[in-house]
Amino acid sequence: MAVPTLLPCDGCGQLASAEHIARRLQRLEWATRFRPIHIQALLLAASAPEADSDFLYSPKSSFTGQVGTLLTALGISTTRKSSEEVLADFQKRGLVLASLLECPIEPGTDANEAGALREHHLPQALARIRRSLKPKRILVVSPELQPLAPQLTESALGCPVFYTFFATSRGEFASDASELAAFRAALPALAAQGT
């Protein structure tokens, strides 16, 4: 019987099984379908959520939890809309939600290991943002990315970078009115209407 070989995932740097790679490719397929041609704002989180139902672009997304709060902050209603209609509205505004680590952090990984993993994967993530995504602005929404602020700069990414910290350290988006106002202020016309 062959022993499965684990290789580093190019989306997160973690040692990955075939299932891990398959999940990453599925998430990429879902996100690519609703990627705008010109990205007005890249909302950058620390890592992808563990559950597919919490992943914005998943057809299984219930638009609750952090995704629901994000959509509410952007003024995107989910009431009586299909997931395709909601994601088309998000796309029309020129928005993309992406993560520095394109995969969830493996269960049991402590905060220091997760931080080291993000720091190690940062050069690949920066290259992807500069060469592939090419956003007009980046909004860093996860406080876990604060230690990387010296590397997450306009000169490194080729566009202005704003730190909104619209997410708590548990990965859930905050709902405090002042945080929502700061988040919306970083998205000038995009929060209220399409581009």
The reported pLDDT for the residue numbered 60 is 85
Name all contacts of 109-117 with Cβ < 8 Å and 24+ positions apart: 114/46, 114/47, 114/144, 115/144, 115/147, 117/12, 117/13, 117/14
In this predicted structure, the answer to whether residue 44 has a pLDDT above a threshold of 90 is yes
pLDDT in tens, 139-191: 988 889 999 999 999 999 999 998 876 554 444 455 566 666 666 666 654 44
Per-residue tokens: 98 = 């992406």
Task: State the average pLDDT over residues 105-132.
Answer: 92
Per-residue tokens: 166 = 């619209």
Name all contacts of 88-91 with Cβ < 8 Å and 24+ positions apart: 88/34, 89/194, 90/34, 90/56, 91/34, 91/35, 91/36
* Complete DSSP assignment for 35-85: --SS-SEEEEEEE--SSGGGSTT-TT----HHHHHHHHHTT---TT--HHH
Task: State the average pLDDT over residues 95-106.
Answer: 93
DSSP label at 186? Answer: T
Per-residue tokens: 44 = 């950058």
Task: State the average pLDDT over residues 95-117.
Answer: 92
Quote the pTM value.
0.84
Number of H helices, E strands in the chain: 6, 6
The reported pLDDT for the residue numbered 34 is 94
